[in-house]
Structure 1
Amino acid sequence: MSTSSYPQRNGARKKKPVKKKRKKVSFLRRLTRVFMFCLFMLTIGMGWLYFAPSANNFRYLIADTLITTQHRYMAKYIIGEDELKNRVAEYNQRFDNMGDELDTHTIAAPNPEADADSDAEAAAVKPLVEIEKVTGTGYSGYIMIVNDPTKVRLGIPDKVGSGEKVSSMVKRTGAIAGVNGGGFADPEWKGNGFKPIGLVISQGKLFYNGLGGKDSTQIVGLDKHGKMIAGNYTLGELSKLGVQEAVSFQPRIIVNGKGLIKNAAEGWGIAPRTAMGQRADGALLFVVIDGRQPGYSIGANLYDVQQIMLKHGAVIAANLDGGSSTVLVKDNEIVNKPSSQYGERYLPTAFLVFEHPEEAQIMNIWEGLDPSQIDAAKKRTQ
C-alpha cells in the first residue's frame, strides 16, 4: 500500500468530529430558541398579569387562593403587601357583616301524634345519613344529608394537649359519620389542633371560651330542637336560643333562603371547603369539597359552595374550617380525599352523627384550662 494513502485516511477521519459538532451546535441553537420563546411568553404573561386591567380578577383570584394556604405571605408578590393587608381586612369586615341579618327560618317539627309504625316506615324510606357526589368546574366533593338534625353532637378530643382526627372521634364515640368543625390556632401551620378559635359549646354547656373579652362571635351550630343557628351572637343570646352544639367560624353564606355572596369574585379564592346548611324540613346539609389536587379537584370558592347549598334547598348555611382540615367520615371510612400531605389532621372539634346521641360520652377536656396558657404548637402526645 502506498504511503500517499495515509493523508487521505487522516483527512477522512477529521470529517467525523465536524459532523458531531454541527449536530451539537444545532441542538444547542434549538434549545436556546425554545428557552427564549418560553422567556418571551413568560414576560408577556407576567406583563398581562400585573398591568392589564383585564387581569385584575384573575390576579385577585390567585391572591385570595394563596391567602387560604400556609403560603399567605406569597400573595404580596401578586397584589402587594399593603393590598394584601387591605384585602384580608376587607374580607373580615364583609364576613362580619354577613352574620348580622336576623335569621327567621323555621324547621318542620316532628309530629308527636305519629305512631311507631309510621315512624318506622318513614325511617325505612329515608335513612338517617345520605351521601351524594357533587362536581363542578375544577372541583369534586360530597354532600352529606342528615335527615334528623337532633342526631348530631359536637365531638371533641379525649386527651389534653392534642387534637384528634375526625376518623378517630367517629370510631371512639360510636358515631355513624362526622365532618370537621371549627378552626383552631395553628402557628406556622404546625398546630396540634388543641386550641380552638372562639367558642365551643357541647350538650348545651360552654366547654371553651376563647373570645378574649369580645362581646360576640360568629357561630355555627344547633339548638335543642335541631334548628341550625349561624351568625353573630353574644353568649347571652346563645343561651336564650338554647344552643346545644356550636363552634366559632365564618362567614354565614345563606340566611332566610338567600345567598349572601354575589359572585365568584367575592368567593375568597379556590380551596378545599367544608360547610353546614339546613333545609326547611330540618335536614342538615354538610358540603365537603376536595382541593389542591390537580387532575382530581383544585377546590371551590365560597360562591360555589353557596350555590351547591341553594341547589339542595338550604335556607341557612355557613362556612366551616376548610383547607387541609376538610374531611368526611362515614362508617369508619374517610369518604373524601384530604389535601394534607401528612394525611388527616388533628382537630379540636367535629360534627358527629349518632343513631343514639344520648349514649355518646363527650367530656370537657378544656375544663379548668386558661385559653391564654394553652400551647397551640406543643407536640402531640397521642
Structure 2
Amino acid sequence: MKRDLEPNIKRNLNRTKTFKAPKRKKKRVFRSLFSILFILMLVAVGWFYLTPSGTNLRYMLADTIITTKHRYLAKYLIGQSELDRRVASYSKEFDVMAQVKDKHNVNLNLSATVNKSVEIESISGPGFKGYIMYVHDPKMVRVVTTNNVGQGEQVLSMVKRTGAIAGVNGGGFDDPNWNGNGFKPAGIVMSGGEMLYKGSGMNAPINVVGIDRNGLMVAGKYKPSELLDMGVREAVTFQPKFIVNGKGLVRNEADGWGIAPRTCMAQKKDGTIMFVVIDGRQPGYSIGATLYDVQKILLEKGAVTAANLDGGSSTVLVKDDKVINQPSSRYGMRYLPTAFLIFDHPDQVAVNNIWQGIDMKNFDSSKKK
C-alpha cells in the first residue's frame, strides 16, 4: 500500500513545481510592464511641462477650460498666478485689437435688385463641424431682444415670434456661475438705431459688434454716444474684432483663445454678412475651434472684417423655424437677451425696450423669472 502512494506523491509534487514557475514569470512580466508604463508616464509628463510643444498644448487646454464655466480648473495646468495673468493678457490684447483702424473697404452700392437670399454652407476642420450663413443684403439683419421681463429668450422662440427667416445668438450677458437667467446684457444693445441698453452710460468705451444704417459692419471699442453719431443701427457687446481690412489679427493657434463652440460675424467686400457657427464640446462629433481656425476660414471666404460673438453654450443657428446646428449644452438652447435675426422686411420689425423702467443695477441675474 505504501509503495502505491509514493508515485502519486511524487506526481503531485511535480505538478506543484510546474504551477509555480508560470506565476513567477507573470509577476516578472507585470513588473516589467509597470516599469515601462511608469517610464512612459514620466516621459509624457516631462514632455507636457518641459518642452515647447507640450507647453503649447498645455496652454491650449488651459485656454479651452477658461472659456467654460469651470475656468478655475485651468490653474491645475498653468497655476493660479498664470491663469490670472492669462485672462488679463487676453483682455489687454483684445483691447489692442479693437483699436486697429478699419478703413471700411466695403462696396455697399446696393441696388433695388440686391440679392435677398439667405444661404447656409456646411464647414468642417480638424476636430470641428459647423456652418456659415450668408446674408447678401446686410440691411436684412436686425438685433432682436428677449420678450420676457426678467428672463432671456431662446433664439428659436425669437425667430418664430417675429417671423424671421433665420437667426444666431448675439451679445454677452451677465451670467453668474454660468447659470444666469439671460436677461441682463453686457455693455450695450442697439436695435433700429435706438440705444435700448447702456450698462455703463453713454461715454464709457465698450467693445461692440454691429451694422450701421448703410449696411456697413462696425466692430471695435466705441462710446455709445459715438455709435449714435456714426449712424449705427444694430449692435451688441462682445469681443474681439479679429479681422480688419482683410488681415487677421490672431497671430497663431496658441493665441486662438482655446477650443470652444463659436459664433462669429463677418463682412465681405461686396457687403455680404457671414455668420459662422461652430459646434463644440461633443467628442465624436465636434470638439470646437479656436479663433485662429475661424479666422482662416473667414479669410478664405473673403472676409474684410470679422468679430467674435457670444459662443460656448450660447452658440445656435436657426433657419426656417429649425435649429440647424447641435448646441453644446445638454439642457438645450440657452435663454439669451439678444440675437441677430434676418428679415425680409426689417423695417417692419418692432423691437421694444424690455429693460425700460427696470433698475438693472439691482437686478439679480442668477434668479429665474
TM over 0.5: yes
Task: Choose the corresponding residue for 1:328, options 312, 317, 341.
Answer: 317
Matching residue's letter, 2:109: A
TM-superposition CA deviations, 1:108-157 (whole Å, max 9, x none): 2223xx5xxxx3xx65xxx5210111111222111100011111111211
Counterpart position of 2:54: 55
TM-superposition CA deviations, 1:296-325 (whole Å, max 9, x none): 222111111111111111111100011111
Matching residue's letter, 1:319: N
After the TM superposition, which of the residue ranges 20-29 and 293-302 deviates more from structure 2?
A: 20-29
Structure 1 segments unaligned to the other structure (5+ residues)? none
Task: Report deviation, 1:103.
Answer: 1.8
CA distance in 1, matches of 2:288, 2:351: 33
CA distance in 1, matches of 2:66, 2:199: 23
2:331 paired with 1:342: yes
Counterpart position of 1:40: 39
Matching residue's letter, 1:276: M
Task: Report deviation, 1:52.
Answer: 2.5
Matching residue's letter, 2:295: Q
Task: Report deviation, 1:42.
Answer: 2.4
The alpha-carbon distance between structure 1 residues 33 and 377, as it changes in their structure 2 partners (threshold 3 A), is farther
- The answer (yes or no) to whether the contact 1:99–1:252 under 8 Å persists in 2 is yes
Question: Aligned pairs, how many?
Answer: 368
Q: How does 1:31-110 map to 2 (within 5 A)?
A: 34=33, 36-105=35-104, 106-110=106-110
Q: How does 1:73-152 map to 2 (within 5 A)?
A: 73-105=72-104, 106-111=106-111, 119=113, 123=115, 128-152=117-141
Q: How does 1:1-382 map to 2 (within 5 A)?
A: 34=33, 36-105=35-104, 106-111=106-111, 119=113, 123=115, 128-211=117-200, 215-379=204-368, 381=369
CA distance in 1, matches of 2:124, 2:48: 29
- The answer (yes or no) to whether the contact 1:209–1:371 under 8 Å persists in 2 is no
CA distance in 1, matches of 2:239, 2:344: 29
Task: Report deviation, 1:17.
Answer: 9.6
4+ aligned runs moved over 3 Å, structure 1: 2-40
After the TM superposition, which of the residue ranges 49-58 and 350-359 deviates more from structure 2?
A: 49-58
After the TM superposition, which of the residue ranges 216-225 and 365-374 deviates more from structure 2?
A: 365-374
Q: Percent identity, aligned pairs only?
A: 53
Task: Report deviation, 1:3.
Answer: 10
- The answer (yes or no) to whether the contact 2:313–2:334 under 8 Å persists in 1 is yes
Q: Secondary structure at the match of 1:191?
A: coil
TM-score, normalized by length of structure 2?
A: 0.91
CA distance in 2, matches of 1:31, 1:325: 49
Task: Report deviation, 1:50.
Answer: 1.5
CA distance in 1, matches of 2:156, 2:8: 79
CA distance in 1, matches of 2:345, 2:19: 79
After the TM superposition, which of the residue ranges 26-35 and 77-86 deviates more from structure 2?
A: 26-35
Task: Report deviation, 1:211.
Answer: 2.3
CA distance in 1, matches of 2:145, 2:25: 66
Q: Secondary structure at the match of 2:211?
A: strand
CA distance in 2, matches of 1:42, 1:358: 63
Q: Secondary structure at the match of 2:276?
A: strand
CA distance in 1, matches of 2:348, 2:251: 43
Task: Report deviation, 1:15.
Answer: 9.2
Structure 2 segments unaligned to the other structure (5+ residues)? none
Matching residue's letter, 1:100: Q
CA distance in 2, matches of 1:338, 1:35: 42
CA distance in 2, matches of 1:18, 1:352: 81
CA distance in 1, matches of 2:366, 2:240: 26
Matching residue's letter, 1:69: T
Task: Report deviation, 1:64.
Answer: 1.2
TM-superposition CA deviations, 1:67-97 (whole Å, max 9, x none): 1111211211111111111111111111001
Give the aligned CA root-mean-square deviation in angstroms: 2.5
The alpha-carbon distance between structure 1 residues 6 and 270, as it changes in their structure 2 partners (threshold 3 A), is same
